[in-house]
Structure 1
């Protein structure tokens, strides 16, 4: 690691400087999403991934955060996921390579503690296609691309499709009483999705308490006879980023349909409802991200509903 920086775990007193580091980096790299102070507060509050062992900050001589790394891992998960950033003015100095080494070391430790028979430590990183400097760093460190994801946009000025929901189902706004039923539905719906792992209450709390979350723009489809969750659409809105991009968007963070309810127009109903909610809130477009090889045919569905791919990101893996 770079000896010009003091390296230590993140702590509450670092929140403002840590968030400022990420914002500076995002201002140059223009990612689709980046962590804010409220996200980092959740990171520090995690019991599954305690910050003392799973985060690192590089602080310069004037007390300014110049780099950070962190990993998350479910106790029974097949992988750890790494996150990090290096101040634009400090990139190209070997700090990124050092952070990757730290992440790999912590990943090995986490797998050793979890003691999963036959499991090989694996670290996964995510990068957007336009960030070629990250791709070069990952490739040089022995990572390989294992999956592509498409960022898709759908202009709302084109109107909203008419979709009639099955009479045995009803669509309602997402509220507190549905937090746990939707978590359980999500874990079932994503059992057959690549890379997905069940979300416990702490991981689900990150979704519910996301500072950008908009439950008023989110909806759930219920089976009338049983009250069982058939599907859900959880949305967010980033008002601050609209100025730099020149448009406003409602973002579908999670869309899922339980297997037994697939083929009944649930996803289409949820997406058209989302479009209506976004348009009523004065937004220019609906956006989402999809696994390019999604087994449910989601990519084809989104394309049929007018979504267009505008960028790609990649998942990079390395077995340690």
Structure 2
């Protein structure tokens, strides 16, 4: 077997596939591999070529050191794995896919082993994240790998269980039919809604980092990570909005939306998706989140969509689940966060 890795990347050991890091020249065949897998597993969302094009441009997580692509004898990609990690982060995120024709042959286990080995390396390269052990003592955080999958993907669930991973969080996908009466939720006096524009991006990023500082598993987004959100190929600033304090112009809340036109084919309906919704802590309790969500629903309906959708941490500390139910959203799908401390 040929192994053609960057010098500092771990090796994958699996017969009949040749492995090397992903490169920009692989975009078409890499996207085709993911699409073949998605056609069978039918996830709610999967990465397409435009998403992968963003990924190969990452400077924080260069694919040359943080990915592996396995080719069969005919040069067709049959499996891949990719790792991301913030430099000071306490966890790494793993992504992988195996061509349906190559599943149940041990390829998935080999990819997990590669992801775990690369996670250990990334923590060593970053000198390890640290936590406060009390009395000002800083202690290194052990390498941790996190993988998200949908609950319905039972063969992946079995593989993660067998490999020593544990479920650490549940996330609910929620839908609201836009044929139902649309909510009214005006902003309080002294606040205003404005369109999401490029000039507001940095202020919204800083507000987002503040909003999510008390959310489980959240880490601050730097400029590159934020760019993956606002420059996402599916991002729809025309369906997004920012709440400002009128007297200061400060960002107090935001709702960033996207729309995937292919969902009409794969899921049978069109949807406006709320990627991020947040209100700064000192402004909570004033109906801002409700007003932002009501505005989003109305924008989606005006754009001719069938449903509004979003995902929420089932243990969200702000009580978001109750708000979404009040606004007419209902859970339709569950995703799981699996962790393994290495």
Deviation sequence 1:143-200 (CA, Å, 0-9, x none): 0000000000000000211112111100011010111000000000000100000000
Rounded Cα–Cα distance in structure 2 between residues aligned with 1:69 and 1:242? 28
Is structure 2 residue 193 aligned with structure 1 residue 171?
A: yes
Q: Return the offset for 1:204.
A: 0.5
Which among 96, 112, 115 is matched to residue 103 of structure 1?
115
Moved over 3 A (4+): none
Aligned to 1:287: 309
Contact 2:263 2:271 in 1 (8 A): no
Rounded Cα–Cα distance in structure 2 between residues aligned with 1:209 and 1:161? 29
Aligned to 1:206: 228
Which among 42, 52, 60 is matched to residue 54 of structure 2?
42
Which among 232, 248, 251 is matched to residue 226 of structure 1?
248
Aligned to 1:84: 96
Aligned to 1:58: 70
Q: CA RMSD in A?
A: 0.8
Give the secondary structure class of the aligned counterpart of 2:88: coil
Aligned to 1:131: 153
Aligned to 1:183: 205
TM-score normalised by L of structure 1: 0.99
Aligned to 1:275: 297
Rounded Cα–Cα distance in structure 2 between residues aligned with 1:222 and 1:100? 45
Rounded Cα–Cα distance in structure 2 between residues aligned with 1:128 and 1:49? 24
Q: For this pair of structures, how many residues does the alignment match? A: 320
Q: Return the offset for 1:273.
A: 0.5
Is structure 2 residue 258 aligned with structure 1 residue 236?
A: yes
Q: Return the offset for 1:70.
A: 0.4
Give the secondary structure class of the aligned counterpart of 2:140: coil
TM-score normalised by L of structure 2: 0.92
